[in-house]
Structure 1
Amino acid sequence: MMRALVTLTPPESKRLIAKAVVALDEVQYALKHGFVYIATGTTAAYIAEEILGKKIEKEKWTVGVISKGRTCVTPKKTWPKHLVLYKGKPFEGDPVEALKEMGPEDVFIKGANAIDPNWNVAVFAAAPDGGTIGRTFGWTITKGVLTITPISLEKFVPTPVEYSAKITGIHSFDWGTGLYSALVPIPHAVPVTEVEAYDILANVDAIPIAAGGAGGAEGSVTLVLEGDDEDMKKAKEITKQIKGEPYLKPYTENCENCPFAKICGIGSGAF
């Protein structure tokens, strides 16, 4: 039995989690035989990179974003499209058509903004129609599509997400430091955090023991890894591969151009 102490920055965690999600048997099966639907988001962009084998401007591969100390959106001119693959190739039709055809052997991947002590996850939504989760939830939950949520423990919150959902919404706030949003639970999601990632990739236990940092380590997660000697050697090599993953650049819309300015504390002038 070996033991290690590992600190991962947010981008290092995202890369680790992305590798683990792609390595899942269910994802590998869907890549060969069915649909893999990757909804846009910064964490999901790492997964898209791992599958496609090419670099993506990850800070642009999202609409909603928490950046520059606020909830915000990226510039509308670069809002990305969801990546839908059928048998490993880009799906030519509209993403909704893919959702209509998907079933339990297919995979839907969607990042999130919160994971609570019960390992339940939730995502912000600011669009009146519920955004990505609002437009896809009905299809995935009623048809039993495997929904995987890649999410770092930097997003761990002590508040149960079902309670957070009751106190949020785009018309629920009098002022704020950014875009007003609802926090929407994804009850059927299977979260993949650093804990699951190390188990999937190296068959070792990962125990979160600390969080945070300074001087470029803000948002970090510190873990104790435990496992058999050979598994721990594999975990060490995986950790070496992901260390040094660069941070994403800040990328947000200007308030004067933002279509969501009226439901934003800054854009509306309430703050």
Structure 2
Amino acid sequence: MQRALVTLTPSESKRLIAKAVVAMDEVQKALKNGFIYIATGTTAAYIAEELLGEKIEKEKWTVGTISKGRTCVTPKTTWPKHLVLYKGKLFEGEPLEALKEMGPEDVFIKGGNAIDINWNVAVFAAAPDGGTIGKTFGWTITKGVFTITPISLEKFVPTPVKESAKLTGIYSFNWGTGLYAALVPIPHAHPVTEVEAYRILAGVEAIPIAAGGAGGAEGSVTLVLEGDDENMEKAKEITKAVKGEPPLEPYTEDCSICPFAKICGLGSGSF
């Protein structure tokens, strides 16, 4: 039995989680025989890179973002399209058409903004129509599509998301430091954190023991890894492979032209 102490920055965690998601049996099966639908988001961008084998401007592969100390959106001119694969190749139709065809053997991947003590996850939505989760939730939950939420423990919150969600909504706030949003629980999701990632990739247990940092380590997660000698060697190699993953650059819309300005503390001038 070996034990190790590992600290991962947010970008390193995202890369680790992406590798684990791609290695999951459900994903590998769908990659060969069905649909994989990847909704846009920064963590999801790492998964897209792992599946496609090519680099993506990950900070641009999202609409909603928390950047520069605020909830925000990326520039509308670069809003990305969701990635859909069918039997390992790019799906030629619109993403909505894929959702209509998907079922329990297919995979839907959507990142999140919160994971609570019970491993329940939730995601922000700021568009009046519910954004990505609002447009896809009905299709995925009613048809039993296998839904994965890749999410780092940097997003751990002590408040149950079913309770905190009741406090939110785009018209629920008088002022704020950024974009107003609703927190939407994803009750049918299978979260993949650093804990699941190490279990999937190396067969070792990962126990979160600390969080945070400074000087470029803000948002970090520190874990104790435990396992037999062979699996811990795998864990060491996996950890070496993700260490040094560069952080994402800030990328936000100009407040003066933002389409969400009216539901933003900064854009509306309420803060």
TM range (shorter): over 0.9
State the partner residue of 1:6. Answer: 6
Q: Please state how far the C-alpha of 1:164 moved relative to its aligned partner.
A: 1.1
* Identity between Structure 1 and Structure 2 (%): 86
Q: Offset at 1:153?
A: 0.0
The yes-or-no answer on 1:80 pairing with 2:55 is no
Q: How does 1:1-271 map to 2 (within 5 A)?
A: 1-271=1-271
Q: Which runs of 5+ in 1 are unaligned?
A: none
Q: Which amino acid aligns with 1:176?
A: G
What CA distance in whole angstroms lies between the structure 1 residues aligned with 2:179 and 2:249?
19
The 3-state SS of whatever aligns with 1:176 is coil
Cα shift at 1:128: 0.2
Give the letter aligned to residue 216 of structure 2: G
CA distance in 1, matches of 2:133, 2:165: 14
For 1:80 and 1:31, locate their aligned partners in 2 and report how far apart those are by CA, in whole Å.
22
Q: What TM-score results when the alignment is normalised by the length of structure 2?
A: 1.00
SS, match of residue 236 in structure 2: helix
5+ residue gaps, structure 2, are none
Q: Distance in 2 between matches of 1:257 and 1:160?
A: 35
- CA RMSD between the two structures: 0.3
Distance 1:257 1:163 in 2: 34
- Distance between the aligned counterparts of 2:221 and 2:248, measured in 1? 17
Supply the distance in 2 between the matched residues of 1:68 and 1:135 (Cα, whole angstroms): 28
CA shift digits 1:241-264 (9 cap, x unpaired):
000000000000000110000000
Offset at residue 72 of structure 1 (A)? 0.1
Which residue type is aligned with residue 22 of structure 1? Answer: V
Question: In structure 1, the residue corresponding to 2:43 is in which secondary structure?
Answer: helix
Q: Distance in 1 between matches of 2:257 and 2:21?
A: 36
Q: TM-score, normalised by structure 1?
A: 1.00
Whichever residue aligns with residue 235 of structure 1, its letter is A
Distance across 2 between alignment mates of 1:94 and 1:200: 32
Structure 1 residue ranges (4+ consecutive) displaced by more than 6 angstroms after TM superposition: none
